[in-house]
């Protein structure tokens, strides 16, 4: 039993899916507005690097969720036995990209010891993802 079934026990499954779809649309709408404001602010200051960061930071999670959904559907159709290595590589690459991007933005704002810890955690996360996706069957 998932959290949605516990929180909304009397709502039929179709209503739950509609509620989930609406929540997703609201979240994506908020992300789009926030990103548009960030791009506008960065562009008005002439900071092209920040504009690129915002655009990539928005595109990467969308691609990640798309790849994860395709991978989940494919595994469900195959009974959970088969893994498409191209999609697994895409998922790991996108998570690595996001981890490195955010570590590169957070670490410079921290004291040196904390910045080192940020990078150590980022590398450990990337290595753990590699181990989970490619080395464990």
DSSP string covering 77-103, please? HTTT----HHHHHHHHHHHHHHHHHHH
Measured between alpha carbons, how far is 62 from 58 in angstroms, rounded to an integer? 7
Nearest to 39 by CA among 61, 56, 62: 56
Q: Could you tell me the pTM of the whole model?
A: 0.71
Q: What is the pLDDT along the chain (137 residues), one digit of tens a residue?
A: 555 555 555 555 556 566 677 888 888 889 889 999 999 999 999 989 989 999 999 899 889 888 888 888 887 777 766 566 788 888 899 999 999 999 999 999 999 999 999 999 999 999 999 998 888 86
**What is the pLDDT at residue 82?**
59
Measured between alpha carbons, how far is 6 from 27 in angstroms, rounded to an integer? 22
**What is the pLDDT at residue 87?**
80
């Amino acid at each position: 039993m998932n959290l949605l079934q516990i929180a909304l026990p009397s709502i039929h499954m179709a209503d739950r899916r509609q509620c989930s779809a609406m929540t997703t649309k609201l979240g994506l709408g908020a992300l789009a507005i926030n990103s548009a404001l960030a791009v506008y602010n960065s562009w008005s200051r002439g900071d092209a690097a920040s504009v690129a960061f915002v655009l990539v930071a928005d595109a990467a999670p969308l691609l990640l969720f798309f790849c994860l959904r395709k991978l989940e559907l494919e595994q469900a159709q195959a009974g959970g036995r088969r893994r498409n290595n191209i999609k697994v590589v895409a998922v790991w690459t996108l998570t690595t990209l996001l981890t490195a991007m955010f570590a590169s933005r957070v670490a410079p704002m921290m004291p040196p010891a904390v910045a080192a810890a940020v990078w150590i955690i980022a590398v450990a996360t990337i290595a753990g993802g590699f181990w989970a996706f490619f080395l464990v069957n």
